[in-house]
Amino acid sequence: MSKLDAKIPEGPLKDKWSKHKDSIKLVNPANKRSIDIIVVGTGLAGSSAAASLAEMGYNVKAFCFQDSPRRAHSIAAQGGINAAKNYQNDGDSVHRLFYDTVKGGDYRSREANVHRLAEVSTDIIDQCVAQGVPFAREYGGLLDNRSFGGVQVSRTFYAKGQTGQQLLLGAYSALSRQIAKGKVTMYNRHEMMDVVKIDGKARGIIARNLITGEIERHSAHAVVICSGGYGNAFYLSTNAMGSNASAAWKIHKKGAFFANPCYTQIHPTCIPVSGDYQSKLTLMSESLRNDGRIWVPKSKEDVEAIKNGSKRPVELSEEERDYYLERRYPAFGNLVPRDVASRAAKERCDAGYGVNETGQAVFLDFAAAIERYGKIEANTSGLDNPTAEDVTRLGTDVIKSKYGNLFQMYEKITDDNPYETPMKIFPAVHYTMGGIWVDYNLMTTVPGLYALGEANFSDHGANRLGASALMQGLADGYFVIPYTIGDFLADDIRTGEISTESPEFAAAEKEVTELVNKLANNNGEHSVDYYHKQLGLIMWNKCGMARNEKHLKEAISEIQALRKEFWEKVKVPGNANELNPELEKAYRVADFLEMGELMCQDALSREESAGGHFREESQTEEGEAKRDDANFAYVAAWEFTGTPSEANLHKEDLKFENIELKQRSYK
């Protein structure tokens, strides 16, 4: 018997959310003033939640490990945010956004949550514009849209290649306003080290002041985790250096189930690895696939010629190029979903067609787009018989206005000019669809403990569509949690302030202090990065773009051995009672060393391919991912029992009442 109750409201899909909002419990304004809420993380989900809850009257304490809430990694999201506005009159609707998201997620998400996401998507755009977020506009002054992978409409709102930055600064401004009013107390450079449970409910956290090293107790009536994803388990990813799984992992160890940890998104268009000193990978936005065409040479002679520099890629004629996405998936072409595009790149590179020294890169080419836009510009500016140079110049200007900052970023990193030669790209770990299991109210299996944004599992199934992460983070923070948290807090109006002097707080603080001191005084041999890099290699090679039973079993025992060695031999310089970045890395990596094992265990137990999870044992004759709906149409929610891979599996069956399950096809 499953312990999981998703609390999905009764009734027709399209009425569930409005009916639920009308029927859940409320907390009156006077009572909100005596209720405290802790929000951990200040990305899109955390900032928007903290600001909105404070506006409603709750007392909010917000925590971030960075020096300012504005620096959370949502800031780096490039391409855009989806919303079912149908401003382009191309037949978009709430239902289509819902359908595309469930299909794109390979039918492994919860219908009711996704429909709610699609419903509130339009409010997000209204809210952000009201805050002064400068989205891209057309000459008539109305909002512009573009297309993203896995859909056939233009519903993505954007601000050049800096959409995440603009949305986060919008949420940060709302948060700043509440900080100024005293409704949010902001704790910068603080790290959540553990959650504190009293009578089974989440009633506070233990935090570490990263400047002084002091271990602090903070109480609240509810705790909201918005700490992002766990992609850095792979060491190399597009995540920020500080992005970590610790808040999510700590609550998992205290009773919150972890759902679908094997669902990781490998993004197809990132700058390839250049050396073993590499500290992170840089994404080139999916929006580039609107205008860029992906290809490798048809012949291996040309591959060699490009590698040894005797041929330049622009010298290859159209006939000598294999636009493999257009060839394999004519209906969606270069705009297939991320998982499909990544595997196709891997297939070509494994077959020996990779175009850089390591054989791990494909081309993303803008020449055709530059020519196409150049001709349009020449026409509209009245140039008769433009020369090829005119067309290139005009077309380059258009590309520059759309993607200028991305092209600059690419050139700074690679020293190649992408206006003149195609970009080289390769897939890299980018996002994690899995996360803390939550019910319809976004509450975890621990009462009073919530998870929002990338930290939860709820909306993207086995693969997230482009421009949907920003949508989900803001939907959860602005438009879901402000309503649903009241249902729990309504019972707390007479509770009064939660004391931090209880034995539960003392025990949690002691545990954290011991952990920190153990790491700081370990006197081992190797740095934290030494272990993190090894974990990353195990994960990438055995739990990456393609997985099989043998490799996953090996990975689990390798991670266990590595973890043992880490605790014996890791070397952390400095002390616990000072600003100590190596110590911060150490306790985060200690958690990744457990998290990685659970990811492999989940991947092992899911004997089907779904979205970002590709089991080599489960593929079609054409090499496409093959789902097994009869046996695996469930959410795998893991309950911690002591050893990560020995967690108890709880299954939440996914019921599809509004969408027919099909094998995804983008052909």
Partner 1 sequence: MNLTLKIWRQKDADTKGKIEAYKVSDISEHMSFLEMIDVLNEQIINEGGSPVAFDHDCREGICGMCSMVINGKPHGPSDAITTCQLHMRSFNDGDTIFIEPWRANAFPVIKDLIVDRGSFDRIIQAGGYVSVNTSGNTIDANAIPIPKEDADTAFDAATCIGCGACVAACKNSSAMLFVGAKVSQLALLPQGQTERTERAKNMVAQMDKEGFGACTNTGACAAECPKEISLENIARLNREFMKASMVGN
Site for partner 1 in 184-203 (CB under 8 A): 186, 188
- Judged by CB under 8 A, which stretch of 136-144, 438-446, 492-500, 632-640 contacts partner 1? 136-144
Handedness of CA 87, 92, 93, 96 (dihedral sign): negative
As measured in angstroms, the least distance from the Cβ of 412 to partner 1 is: 5
Listed residue (135, 238, 206, 256) closest to 647, CA to CA: 256
Among the listed residues 12, 29, 91, 140, the single contact to partner 1 using CB under 8 A? 140
Tokens 């025992």, located at residue: 557
Per-residue binding letters, 484-523, with partner 1 (x by CB under 8 A) = ----------------------------------------
Q: How far apart are CA 324 and CA 334, in angstroms?
A: 9
Does 35 help bind partner 1 (rule: CB under 8 A)? no
Residue closer to partner 1 by CB (options 70, 664) is 70
| Buried-exposed string 607-624: b where 16+ CB fall within 10 A, e elsewhere | ebbbbbbbbeebeeeeeb
Chain-centroid distance of CA 90 in Å reads 28
**DSSP notation for 286-313:** GGGGGT-EEEEESSHHHHHHHHTTSS-G
Residue type, 324: Y
Backbone angles phi, psi at 442, to 5 degrees: 70, 20
3-class secondary structure, 327: helix
Among the listed residues 14, 177, 254, 311, the single contact to partner 1 using CB under 8 A? 177
Among the listed residues 1, 30, 142, 388, the single contact to partner 1 using CB under 8 A? 142
**DSSP notation for 595-660:** HHHHHHHHHHH--S-BTTB-BTTSB-TTS-B---HHHH-EEEEEE--SSGGGPEEEEEE---SSS-
Does 335 help bind partner 1 (rule: CB under 8 A)? no
Per-residue binding letters, 567-606, with partner 1 (x by CB under 8 A) = ----x-xx---xx-xx------------------------
As measured in angstroms, the least distance from the Cβ of 456 to partner 1 is: 19
Does 398 help bind partner 1 (rule: CB under 8 A)? no
Residue closer to partner 1 by CB (options 80, 242) is 242
Task: Please answer whether residues 547 and 605 qualify as being in contact, where contact means their C-beta atoms are separated by less than 8 angstroms.
Answer: no
As measured in angstroms, the least distance from the Cβ of 595 to partner 1 is: 20
- Judged by CB under 8 A, which stretch of 225-233, 278-286, 311-319, 611-619 contacts partner 1? 278-286
Let me know how long the chain is: 667
Does 6 help bind partner 1 (rule: CB under 8 A)? no
627 given a catalytic annotation: no
Among the listed residues 52, 59, 227, 444, the single contact to partner 1 using CB under 8 A? 52
Per-residue binding letters, 151-170, with partner 1 (x by CB under 8 A) = --------xx-x-xxx--x-
Among the listed residues 7, 9, 24, 76, the single contact to partner 1 using CB under 8 A? 76
Q: Who's near 214: CB < 8 A, 6+ residues apart?
A: 208, 577
Does 623 help bind partner 1 (rule: CB under 8 A)? no
- Judged by CB under 8 A, which stretch of 218-226, 337-345, 462-470, 477-485 contacts partner 1? 477-485
Q: Who's near 443: CB < 8 A, 6+ residues apart?
A: 449, 450, 484, 488
Does 388 help bind partner 1 (rule: CB under 8 A)? no
Backbone angles phi, psi at 159, to 5 degrees: -130, 90
Binding-site size for partner 1 (CB under 8 A) equals 80
Which two tokens mark 405?
A: 């900052």
Pairing between strand 184-187 and 156-157? unpaired
The one catalytic residue in 71, 96, 338, 348 is 338
Tokens 């985790």, located at residue: 225
Maximum separation of any 2 CA atoms in the chain, in Å? 82
Among the listed residues 39, 97, 236, 240, the single contact to partner 1 using CB under 8 A? 240
Pairing between strand 59-63 and 184-187? parallel
As measured in angstroms, the least distance from the Cβ of 622 to partner 1 is: 36
Among the listed residues 5, 15, 67, 416, the single contact to partner 1 using CB under 8 A? 67
Chain-centroid distance of CA 285 in Å reads 14
3-class secondary structure, 393: helix
Residue type, 417: N
- Judged by CB under 8 A, which stretch of 279-287, 378-386, 430-438, 637-645 contacts partner 1? 279-287
Which two tokens mark 530?
A: 């030494």
Among the listed residues 26, 211, 331, 376, the single contact to partner 1 using CB under 8 A? 211
Residue closer to partner 1 by CB (options 144, 558) is 144
Task: Please answer whether residues 131 and 155 qualify as being in contact, where contact means their C-beta atoms are separated by less than 8 angstroms.
Answer: no
Does 631 help bind partner 1 (rule: CB under 8 A)? no
Does 70 help bind partner 1 (rule: CB under 8 A)? yes
Residue closer to partner 1 by CB (options 461, 482) is 482
- Judged by CB under 8 A, which stretch of 137-145, 221-229, 553-561, 601-609 contacts partner 1? 137-145
Considering only residues 87 to 106 of the shown chain, the ones binding partner 1 according to CB under 8 A are 87
As measured in angstroms, the least distance from the Cβ of 101 to partner 1 is: 20
Backbone angles phi, psi at 337, to 5 degrees: -60, 165
Considering only residues 303 to 332 of the shown chain, the ones binding partner 1 according to CB under 8 A are none
- For the annotated catalytic residues, the residue numbers are 338
